[in-house]
Amino acid sequence: MTDAELVRGTLDGDTRAFTELVDRHAPACLRFATRMLGDRADAEEAAQESFLRAHRALANYDRRLPFRMWLFAILVNRCRTAMAQRGRRERRLVVDTDALALSFVPDESRALELRSEIEWAVAALSAEQREAFLLRHVEELSYEEISQTTGAGVSALKMRVKRATERLRILLEDGTEAKVDDTP
Amino acid sequence: MTHHRKPDEGDDPLDPLVERATMLLRRPEAVRPAWRDELLARVPTARTVRRSPMRAWVPLAIAASLCTAVGIGRLSARSGRDRVRFSVSAPSAKAVSLVGDFDGWNPAAVPMRRGSNDVWVVDVRLRPGRHVFAFSIDGALRVDADAPRAVEDDFGVPGSVIVVPERRSD
Protein backbone atom coordinates (compact mmCIF):
# COMPACT_ATOMS: atom_id res chain seq x y z
CA MET A 1 0.00 0.00 0.00
CA THR A 2 1.39 3.40 -0.92
CA ASP A 3 1.81 6.31 1.46
CA ALA A 4 -0.92 8.16 -0.39
CA GLU A 5 -3.30 5.28 0.17
CA LEU A 6 -2.41 5.20 3.85
CA VAL A 7 -3.01 8.92 4.12
CA ARG A 8 -6.40 8.50 2.54
CA GLY A 9 -7.17 5.61 4.88
CA THR A 10 -6.20 7.72 7.87
CA LEU A 11 -8.46 10.52 6.73
CA ASP A 12 -11.23 8.01 6.41
CA GLY A 13 -10.77 7.04 10.04
CA ASP A 14 -8.64 3.94 9.66
CA THR A 15 -6.25 4.11 12.60
CA ARG A 16 -4.27 1.16 11.30
CA ALA A 17 -3.34 3.23 8.28
CA PHE A 18 -1.70 5.88 10.42
CA THR A 19 0.03 3.20 12.46
CA GLU A 20 1.50 1.88 9.24
CA LEU A 21 2.74 5.36 8.32
CA VAL A 22 4.41 5.61 11.71
CA ASP A 23 6.04 2.22 11.38
CA ARG A 24 7.20 3.03 7.89
CA HIS A 25 8.73 6.42 8.61
CA ALA A 26 9.67 6.45 12.29
CA PRO A 27 13.13 4.90 11.86
CA ALA A 28 14.23 7.57 9.38
CA CYS A 29 12.63 10.36 11.41
CA LEU A 30 14.38 9.19 14.55
CA ARG A 31 17.62 8.86 12.66
CA PHE A 32 17.50 12.39 11.32
CA ALA A 33 16.39 13.91 14.62
CA THR A 34 19.00 12.01 16.61
CA ARG A 35 21.81 13.05 14.26
CA MET A 36 20.47 16.59 14.14
CA LEU A 37 19.93 17.10 17.86
CA GLY A 38 22.67 14.84 19.19
CA ASP A 39 20.38 13.56 21.86
CA ARG A 40 18.09 10.57 21.67
CA ALA A 41 15.49 11.86 24.14
CA ASP A 42 15.19 15.20 22.34
CA ALA A 43 14.99 13.33 19.06
CA GLU A 44 12.18 11.11 20.25
CA GLU A 45 10.24 14.12 21.43
CA ALA A 46 10.75 15.96 18.14
CA ALA A 47 9.80 12.92 16.09
CA GLN A 48 6.71 12.22 18.16
CA GLU A 49 5.56 15.82 17.91
CA SER A 50 6.14 15.71 14.17
CA PHE A 51 3.92 12.68 13.72
CA LEU A 52 1.20 14.23 15.86
CA ARG A 53 1.35 17.48 13.92
CA ALA A 54 1.30 15.56 10.68
CA HIS A 55 -1.80 13.71 11.84
CA ARG A 56 -3.54 16.94 12.77
CA ALA A 57 -2.62 18.51 9.45
CA LEU A 58 -3.23 15.50 7.28
CA ALA A 59 -6.27 17.01 5.61
CA ASN A 60 -3.98 19.75 4.38
CA TYR A 61 -1.39 17.39 2.94
CA ASP A 62 -0.74 18.09 -0.71
CA ARG A 63 -0.67 14.66 -2.31
CA ARG A 64 1.51 15.92 -5.12
CA LEU A 65 4.38 15.85 -2.64
CA PRO A 66 5.84 12.59 -1.37
CA PHE A 67 4.52 12.04 2.14
CA ARG A 68 8.01 11.48 3.48
CA MET A 69 9.11 14.87 2.25
CA TRP A 70 6.08 16.55 3.77
CA LEU A 71 6.71 14.77 7.05
CA PHE A 72 10.36 15.77 6.98
CA ALA A 73 9.44 19.41 6.47
CA ILE A 74 7.54 19.20 9.76
CA LEU A 75 10.38 17.32 11.43
CA VAL A 76 13.00 19.82 10.28
CA ASN A 77 10.96 22.58 11.87
CA ARG A 78 10.51 20.64 15.09
CA CYS A 79 14.26 20.06 15.27
CA ARG A 80 14.93 23.75 14.68
CA THR A 81 12.47 24.60 17.43
CA ALA A 82 14.09 22.09 19.78
CA MET A 83 17.49 23.63 19.14
CA ALA A 84 16.15 27.11 19.68
CA GLN A 85 14.52 26.06 22.94
CA ARG A 86 17.74 24.52 24.04
CA GLY A 87 19.19 27.99 23.72
CA ARG A 88 22.67 28.28 24.96
CA ARG A 89 22.63 24.90 26.52
CA GLU A 90 25.86 23.26 25.63
CA ARG A 91 25.55 21.02 22.66
CA ARG A 92 25.81 17.54 23.93
CA LEU A 93 27.19 14.64 22.14
CA VAL A 94 25.80 11.61 23.81
CA VAL A 95 26.54 8.08 22.91
CA ASP A 96 23.18 6.51 23.45
CA THR A 97 24.14 3.14 24.75
CA ASP A 98 20.62 1.76 24.53
CA ALA A 99 20.29 2.68 20.89
CA LEU A 100 23.73 1.42 20.12
CA ALA A 101 23.03 -1.85 21.80
CA LEU A 102 19.95 -2.23 19.65
CA SER A 103 21.56 -1.32 16.37
CA PHE A 104 25.15 -2.33 16.57
CA VAL A 105 27.07 -5.24 15.34
CA PRO A 106 30.22 -7.17 15.96
CA ASP A 107 33.33 -5.45 17.24
CA GLU A 108 31.26 -3.28 19.54
CA SER A 109 34.03 -1.40 21.26
CA ARG A 110 35.53 -0.22 17.98
CA ALA A 111 32.11 0.55 16.61
CA LEU A 112 31.24 2.59 19.68
CA GLU A 113 34.44 4.53 19.42
CA LEU A 114 33.98 5.22 15.74
CA ARG A 115 30.37 6.15 16.19
CA SER A 116 31.28 8.48 19.00
CA GLU A 117 33.83 10.23 16.79
CA ILE A 118 31.38 10.56 13.95
CA GLU A 119 28.61 11.90 16.13
CA TRP A 120 30.98 14.36 17.68
CA ALA A 121 32.10 15.54 14.26
CA VAL A 122 28.54 15.93 13.00
CA ALA A 123 27.61 17.84 16.14
CA ALA A 124 30.54 20.16 15.53
CA LEU A 125 29.00 21.38 12.28
CA SER A 126 26.83 24.46 12.29
CA ALA A 127 23.14 23.68 12.51
CA GLU A 128 22.56 24.75 8.91
CA GLN A 129 25.43 22.65 7.60
CA ARG A 130 24.42 19.66 9.68
CA GLU A 131 20.82 19.87 8.51
CA ALA A 132 21.80 20.12 4.85
CA PHE A 133 24.41 17.39 5.08
CA LEU A 134 22.10 14.95 6.83
CA LEU A 135 19.22 15.54 4.44
CA ARG A 136 21.50 15.17 1.44
CA HIS A 137 23.87 12.38 2.34
CA VAL A 138 22.04 10.47 5.06
CA GLU A 139 18.39 10.87 4.11
CA GLU A 140 19.41 11.06 0.45
CA LEU A 141 17.00 13.73 -0.64
CA SER A 142 17.63 15.63 -3.82
CA TYR A 143 18.57 19.28 -3.52
CA GLU A 144 15.19 20.26 -4.88
CA GLU A 145 13.52 18.16 -2.20
CA ILE A 146 15.75 19.63 0.49
CA SER A 147 14.90 23.08 -0.77
CA GLN A 148 11.20 22.38 -0.45
CA THR A 149 11.73 20.83 2.95
CA THR A 150 13.89 23.56 4.45
CA GLY A 151 12.93 26.64 2.47
CA ALA A 152 16.56 27.30 1.55
CA GLY A 153 17.70 27.83 -2.03
CA VAL A 154 19.41 25.06 -3.96
CA SER A 155 22.64 27.02 -4.44
CA ALA A 156 22.89 27.81 -0.75
CA LEU A 157 22.19 24.18 0.10
CA LYS A 158 24.91 22.93 -2.22
CA MET A 159 27.35 25.29 -0.58
CA ARG A 160 26.32 24.16 2.89
CA VAL A 161 26.73 20.52 1.97
CA LYS A 162 30.11 21.16 0.37
CA ARG A 163 31.38 23.03 3.42
CA ALA A 164 29.93 20.45 5.78
CA THR A 165 31.66 17.67 3.88
CA GLU A 166 35.00 19.48 3.97
CA ARG A 167 34.64 20.23 7.65
CA LEU A 168 33.72 16.66 8.44
CA ARG A 169 36.73 15.36 6.60
CA ILE A 170 39.02 17.63 8.61
CA LEU A 171 37.35 16.74 11.89
CA LEU A 172 37.45 13.03 11.23
CA GLU A 173 41.03 13.05 10.01
CA ASP A 174 42.30 14.78 13.08
CA GLY A 175 39.54 14.47 15.61
CA THR A 176 41.57 14.83 18.75
CA GLU A 177 43.28 17.98 17.70
CA ALA A 178 40.05 19.49 16.40
CA LYS A 179 38.29 18.64 19.64
CA VAL A 180 40.87 20.61 21.57
CA ASP A 181 40.66 23.49 19.09
CA ASP A 182 36.88 23.63 19.30
CA THR A 183 36.62 23.57 23.04
CA PRO A 184 35.15 26.91 24.12
CA MET B 1 9.52 8.48 -2.53
CA THR B 2 12.68 7.09 -3.81
CA HIS B 3 15.48 7.00 -1.33
CA HIS B 4 18.18 6.80 -3.90
CA ARG B 5 20.42 9.74 -4.34
CA LYS B 6 20.37 11.33 -7.71
CA PRO B 7 23.86 11.01 -9.18
CA ASP B 8 23.86 14.13 -11.29
CA GLU B 9 23.51 16.90 -8.76
CA GLY B 10 27.06 18.12 -8.81
CA ASP B 11 28.29 16.85 -5.46
CA ASP B 12 31.98 16.13 -5.29
CA PRO B 13 32.78 12.50 -4.55
CA LEU B 14 32.90 11.97 -0.82
CA ASP B 15 36.24 11.51 0.84
CA PRO B 16 36.53 7.82 1.82
CA LEU B 17 36.54 8.71 5.51
CA VAL B 18 33.44 10.85 5.17
CA GLU B 19 31.82 8.19 3.02
CA ARG B 20 32.44 5.62 5.74
CA ALA B 21 31.03 7.95 8.35
CA THR B 22 28.00 8.59 6.19
CA MET B 23 27.34 4.90 5.85
CA LEU B 24 27.25 4.59 9.62
CA LEU B 25 25.05 7.64 9.95
CA ARG B 26 22.57 6.05 7.55
CA ARG B 27 21.86 3.19 9.90
CA PRO B 28 18.28 3.55 11.00
CA GLU B 29 17.57 4.29 14.62
CA ALA B 30 15.81 1.56 16.51
CA VAL B 31 12.26 2.44 17.45
CA ARG B 32 11.55 1.81 21.10
CA PRO B 33 8.23 0.01 21.48
CA ALA B 34 7.33 2.27 24.41
CA TRP B 35 7.90 5.35 22.25
CA ARG B 36 5.72 3.94 19.51
CA ASP B 37 2.97 2.99 21.95
CA GLU B 38 3.02 6.44 23.52
CA LEU B 39 2.81 8.11 20.13
CA LEU B 40 -0.11 6.01 18.96
CA ALA B 41 -1.90 6.59 22.25
CA ARG B 42 -1.59 10.33 21.72
CA VAL B 43 -3.10 10.24 18.26
CA PRO B 44 -6.51 11.86 18.60
CA THR B 45 -8.59 9.32 16.80
CA ALA B 46 -11.81 11.11 17.67
CA ARG B 47 -10.69 14.08 15.64
CA THR B 48 -10.70 12.15 12.45
CA VAL B 49 -13.67 12.98 10.36
CA ARG B 50 -14.79 10.00 8.43
CA ARG B 51 -15.82 10.56 4.88
CA SER B 52 -19.49 9.87 4.63
CA PRO B 53 -20.62 7.37 2.09
CA MET B 54 -22.18 9.18 -0.80
CA ARG B 55 -25.76 8.51 -1.54
CA ALA B 56 -27.21 8.75 -4.98
CA TRP B 57 -28.67 12.15 -4.35
CA VAL B 58 -25.74 13.53 -2.53
CA PRO B 59 -23.85 16.39 -4.10
CA LEU B 60 -21.63 15.58 -6.99
CA ALA B 61 -18.78 17.40 -5.48
CA ILE B 62 -17.67 17.69 -1.98
CA ALA B 63 -15.45 20.43 -1.03
CA ALA B 64 -12.95 21.21 1.19
CA SER B 65 -11.28 22.02 4.29
CA LEU B 66 -8.58 23.96 5.65
CA CYS B 67 -6.37 25.29 8.07
CA THR B 68 -3.49 27.35 8.98
CA ALA B 69 -2.50 28.57 12.29
CA VAL B 70 -5.78 27.55 13.75
CA GLY B 71 -5.14 23.90 13.27
CA ILE B 72 -6.38 21.76 10.58
CA GLY B 73 -9.63 21.22 9.08
CA ARG B 74 -11.30 18.60 7.19
CA LEU B 75 -14.61 19.28 5.62
CA SER B 76 -17.41 17.03 4.89
CA ALA B 77 -20.53 18.26 3.23
CA ARG B 78 -23.60 16.11 3.05
CA SER B 79 -26.88 16.75 1.48
CA GLY B 80 -30.26 15.64 2.59
CA ARG B 81 -32.54 16.75 -0.19
CA ASP B 82 -32.13 20.52 -0.02
CA ARG B 83 -30.29 20.53 3.30
CA VAL B 84 -26.54 20.37 3.31
CA ARG B 85 -24.36 19.82 6.33
CA PHE B 86 -20.97 21.48 6.28
CA SER B 87 -18.38 20.57 8.86
CA VAL B 88 -14.78 21.46 9.40
CA SER B 89 -12.35 20.51 12.09
CA ALA B 90 -10.66 23.60 13.46
CA PRO B 91 -9.60 22.86 17.02
CA SER B 92 -7.97 26.20 17.75
CA ALA B 93 -10.50 28.43 16.06
CA LYS B 94 -12.56 30.91 18.03
CA ALA B 95 -15.15 31.57 15.34
CA VAL B 96 -15.96 29.75 12.15
CA SER B 97 -18.60 30.60 9.61
CA LEU B 98 -19.68 29.40 6.23
CA VAL B 99 -19.48 31.90 3.41
CA GLY B 100 -20.40 31.59 -0.22
CA ASP B 101 -22.37 32.89 -3.11
CA PHE B 102 -25.56 31.86 -1.32
CA ASP B 103 -25.03 34.28 1.56
CA GLY B 104 -23.23 37.11 -0.18
CA TRP B 105 -19.90 35.96 1.30
CA ASN B 106 -20.97 37.50 4.56
CA PRO B 107 -19.03 35.97 7.49
CA ALA B 108 -21.80 36.97 9.88
CA ALA B 109 -24.58 35.32 7.91
CA VAL B 110 -24.01 31.62 8.61
CA PRO B 111 -22.02 31.05 11.79
CA MET B 112 -20.99 27.49 12.48
CA ARG B 113 -21.26 25.90 15.90
CA ARG B 114 -18.55 23.94 17.58
CA GLY B 115 -19.61 20.35 17.91
CA SER B 116 -17.94 17.38 19.44
CA ASN B 117 -14.27 16.79 18.80
CA ASP B 118 -13.74 20.40 17.73
CA VAL B 119 -15.65 19.88 14.53
CA TRP B 120 -17.61 22.96 13.53
CA VAL B 121 -20.88 22.25 11.80
CA VAL B 122 -23.82 23.99 10.24
CA ASP B 123 -26.80 22.82 8.25
CA VAL B 124 -28.03 25.07 5.50
CA ARG B 125 -30.74 24.80 2.92
CA LEU B 126 -29.46 25.29 -0.57
CA ARG B 127 -31.37 25.39 -3.75
CA PRO B 128 -30.42 22.78 -6.30
CA GLY B 129 -27.50 23.82 -8.46
CA ARG B 130 -23.90 24.79 -8.20
CA HIS B 131 -22.63 26.79 -5.25
CA VAL B 132 -19.25 28.22 -4.41
CA PHE B 133 -18.28 28.43 -0.78
CA ALA B 134 -15.41 28.68 1.69
CA PHE B 135 -14.90 28.77 5.42
CA SER B 136 -14.15 31.86 7.41
CA ILE B 137 -11.92 30.66 10.22
CA ASP B 138 -11.21 33.47 12.66
CA GLY B 139 -11.67 35.87 9.79
CA ALA B 140 -9.46 34.09 7.28
CA LEU B 141 -11.02 32.46 4.26
CA ARG B 142 -9.86 28.91 3.72
CA VAL B 143 -10.42 26.19 1.19
CA ASP B 144 -8.88 22.81 0.68
CA ALA B 145 -6.02 22.34 -1.74
CA ASP B 146 -7.43 19.21 -3.28
CA ALA B 147 -11.11 19.99 -3.17
CA PRO B 148 -12.98 20.91 -6.31
CA ARG B 149 -12.24 24.54 -6.97
CA ALA B 150 -14.36 27.21 -8.48
CA VAL B 151 -12.97 28.69 -11.64
CA GLU B 152 -14.06 32.15 -10.63
CA ASP B 153 -12.45 33.99 -7.81
CA ASP B 154 -15.37 35.28 -5.83
CA PHE B 155 -13.69 36.73 -2.82
CA GLY B 156 -9.99 36.95 -3.36
CA VAL B 157 -9.49 33.26 -2.73
CA PRO B 158 -10.65 30.37 -4.83
CA GLY B 159 -13.84 28.90 -3.53
CA SER B 160 -14.85 25.29 -3.24
CA VAL B 161 -17.69 23.95 -5.28
CA ILE B 162 -20.69 21.97 -4.21
CA VAL B 163 -23.45 20.86 -6.52
CA VAL B 164 -26.85 20.18 -5.03
CA PRO B 165 -28.88 18.02 -7.34
CA GLU B 166 -32.56 18.40 -8.04
CA ARG B 167 -34.86 16.63 -5.64
CA ARG B 168 -35.95 13.25 -6.65
CA SER B 169 -39.62 12.90 -7.30
CA ASP B 170 -40.14 10.11 -4.74
B33-92 pLDDT, tens digit per residue, is: 999 999 988 887 533 333 333 222 223 233 333 333 233 333 444 444 467 778 877 788
ipTM: 0.79
Contact A56 B5 (CB under 8 A): no
**Smallest Cα–Cα separation from A76: which of A39, A6, A127?**
A127
Chosen from B1, B9, B74, B89 to mutate, greatest number of chain A CBs within 10 A: B1
The residue extents of the domains of chain A are 1-92
Cβ of residue A12 closer than 8 Å to a chain B Cβ = yes
Which residues, listed in sequence order, are joined to residue B141 by a DSSP beta bridge? Answer: B136
Among the residue ranges A104-118, A167-181, B106-120, the one predicted with the least confidence is A104-118
Nearest CA-CA distance, residue B83 and chain A, Å: 23
Please tell me which residue of chain B has the smallest CA distance to A104. B27
pLDDT at A68: 92
pLDDT at B126: 79
Asked if B133 and B162 touch (Cβ cutoff 8 Å), the reply is: yes
Q: How confident is the model at residue A90 (pLDDT cuts 50, 70, 90)?
A: very low
| DSSP calls for chain B | ---SPPTTS-PPPPPHHHHHHHHHHTSPPPPPHHHHHHHHHHS-GGG--PPPPPPTTS-S-------BTTB---EEEEEETTEEEEEEE-TT-S-EEEEETTTTT-TTTSB-EE-GGGEEEEEEE--SEEEEEEEEETTEEE--TTS-B-SS-SSSSPPEEEEEPPPP--
Asked if A21 and A6 touch (Cβ cutoff 8 Å), the reply is: yes
Q: What is the DSSP letter of A60?
A: G
Instruction: For chain B, list the domains and their CATH numbers.
Output: 49-164 (2.60.40.10)
pLDDT at B34: 92
Cβ of residue A31 closer than 8 Å to a chain B Cβ = yes
Contact B1 A69 (CB under 8 A): yes
B-chain CB neighbours of A123 within 8 Å are none
Cβ of residue A46 closer than 8 Å to a chain B Cβ = no
Out of 1.10.1740.10, 3.40.50.2300, 1.10.1040.10, 1.20.1250.20, the CATH code matching A1-92 is 1.10.1740.10
Cβ of residue B21 closer than 8 Å to a chain A Cβ = yes
